[in-house]
Amino acid sequence: NAGVTQTPKFQVLKTGQSMTLQCAQDMNHEYMSWYRQDPGMGLRLIHYSVGAGITDQGEVPNGYNVSRSTTEDFPLRLLSAAPSQTSVYFCASSPRDRRQETQYFGPGTRLLVL
Amino acid sequence: KQEVTQIPAALSVPEGENLVLNCSFTDSAIYNLQWFRQDPGKGLTSLLLIQSSQREQTSGRLNASLDKSSGRSTLYIAASQPGDSATYLCAVSQGGKLIFGQGTELSVKP
């Protein structure tokens, strides 16, 4: 089991560029989500998905798109990068069973937007 | 809107001391509460999960309690070690979403 994997580990973008952060899990989890972590702000939810084909917005969705075509993958797209999107991005997954909702986190992607 | 607060923001203790980290939340309608550890530059590692019907969970030197009615949780670390130095985050779960506190940065001095 690889768990939750994220690529790339680190990325530098110029303002206005677009990119996709990849997230994959091999635990057959239904729930997947994206968080960003900023100093002094903690972790904040960007988007989440309760299953393939179903996504919803979190606390800070502006500037980001997601889709969930398979159970395994949940990519996060930055449409037009801005310096305010400089952050560390974490993907997480958890089983559908609310009694077992341990969240498993990926190692993170550090994004710098110049 | 659910809000999660952790006190203190930072804590420095000598090795061997027992310590308590605090977490409070404003909405008691949660599925569970999790405590995570985060080392500098790394991802989050789940330490303990307390389901909403439970009062406490234990793992080794760690004990976490949950009082839903008062909106409080504590993480007790016994006989602290320098390797325990990290940031500890609590998060409440509502429908697969986690709402995090800002963390307590723990430093255990040899």
pLDDT in tens, A34-59: 999 998 788 999 999 989 999 999 99
Q: Per-residue confidence at A99, pLDDT binned at 50, 70, 90?
A: low
Residues from chain B that touch A92, judged by Cβ atoms under 8 A, are 44, 98
Contact yes or no for A4/A92 (Cβ under 8 A): yes
Q: How far apart are CA A97 and CA A29, in angstroms?
A: 10
Can you say whether residue A46 is alpha, beta or left, with left for phi > 0 and alpha for psi between -120 and 50 degrees?
Answer: alpha
Residues from chain B that touch A103, judged by Cβ atoms under 8 A, are 34, 46, 91, 93, 98
Q: How far apart are CA A43 and CA A59, in angstroms?
A: 10
Residues 6+ apart with CB under 8 A from B41: none
Residues 6+ apart with CB under 8 A from A3: A25, A26, A27, A104, A106
CA distance B41 to chain A (A): 9
Instruction: Tokens for A99, please give them.
Output: 């009694």
Instruction: Tokens for B7, please give them.
Output: 């006190």
pLDDT tens per residue across span B16-66:
999 999 999 999 988 889 999 999 888 899 999 998 899 999 999 999 999
